[in-house]
């Protein structure tokens, strides 16, 4: 991921509702959630949710697909990995021991504990 894409992804996440929606999508897993369920879960009008989901998709952090009349959204794990890799690219200054604590804290259990319900 280049710096421009990282800035776009971070800008998309730098909004309260979008950050919460992204975390909810990460928690939902690869099957994602339908747009209406996301709007209901976040107590946001459907049109507003569509705007937020479009921003996340444009930033490479969410993906969508249609099933009949329903639009499903899921976290784009490759986009998330790209952003995290970009942020961590210069970590450790060549010494993996400097980042060992951070890297060991990045487990599915640790991530899901902080995810919104």
Task: For residue range 81-109, list pLDDT tens digits in order.
Answer: 999 888 887 777 777 777 777 767 776 65
Short-list 66, 61, 70, CA closest to 24: 61
56: pLDDT strictly greater than 50 = yes
Spell out a b/e string for 26-55, using b for 16 or more CB atoms within 10 Å of the CB, else e: bebeeebbebebbbebbebeeeebbebbeb
Considering Cα of 88, then 92, then 98, then 103, what sign does the dihedral take?
positive
Per-residue pLDDT, averaged over 29-47, amounts to: 96
Q: What is the pLDDT of residues 21-36, one digit of tens each?
A: 999 999 999 999 999 9
β pairing state of 33-34 and 70-75: antiparallel
């Amino acid at each position: 991921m280049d710096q421009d894409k990282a800035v776009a992804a971070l800008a998309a996440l730098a909004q309260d509702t979008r950050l919460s929606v992204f975390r909810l999508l990460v928690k939902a897993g690869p099957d994602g959630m339908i747009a209406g369920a996301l709007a209901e879960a976040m107590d946001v009008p459907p049109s507003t949710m569509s705007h937020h989901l479009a921003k996340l998709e444009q930033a490479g952090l969410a993906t969508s697909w249609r099933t009949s009349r329903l639009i499903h959204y899921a976290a784009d794990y490759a986009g998330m990995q790209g952003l995290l890799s970009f942020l961590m690219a210069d970590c450790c200054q060549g010494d993996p021991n400097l980042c060992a604590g951070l890297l060991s804290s990045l487990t599915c259990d640790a991530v899901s504990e902080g995810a919104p319900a």
